[in-house]
Amino acid sequence: MIQNIVKRIKREEGFTLVELLIVVAIIAILAAIAIPQFSAYRKRGYVASLNADIKNAYTAAQAYLVDDPGATLTCANLTTGGYNATDGITCTSDIEQSDGGITLTGDSAWGLTTDEAIVDFSGVITPAAL
């Protein structure tokens, strides 16, 4: 009986180096596939946020101008009309009728090709792009 216990203690079990290397290789392959996809998903999310914000800003501008038709529309007035910017999105300048519309700019760290979305006063949107 003591000999059986000694044999169990002496016998060490575990993974071989080859098995561990195979597992590490599989994880590395999965990471190499997943990381670029994750970056693409994030960029698409940023574009969707920016394009949704430009629609919301246009709606807020219309609501503000209905309430006060003689007013000059500014970025600050968009919040009065009900617009709340998403984190990382800013209204770039004061809005004049001659400017052609509202321009929102996304964070440059997002890495978008076009990090601006523009809506003119007739409601035509020039969306941001990947």
Task: Tell me the per-residue pLDDT of 16-56, one tens digit each, with 9 for 90 and over.
Answer: 999 999 999 999 999 999 998 998 999 999 999 999 999 99
CB 119 within 8 A of CB 54: yes
In whole angstroms, what is the distance from residue 95 CA to residue 106 CA? 17
pLDDT band at 76 (very low <50, low <70, confident <90, very high): confident
Predicted local confidence at residue 41, as pLDDT: 92
Please report, for the chain, the start and end positions of each structural domain, with discontinuous segments joined by +: 16-126
Predicted local confidence at residue 10, as pLDDT: 65
Task: Say if pTM beats, i.e. exceeds, 0.85.
Answer: no
Residue 90 host element (H or E):
strand 89-91
SS3 assignment, position 32: helix
Among 26-30, 35-39, 62-66, 103-107, name the most confident range: 26-30
Among 1-15, 87-101, 106-120, the range scoring the smallest mean pLDDT is: 1-15
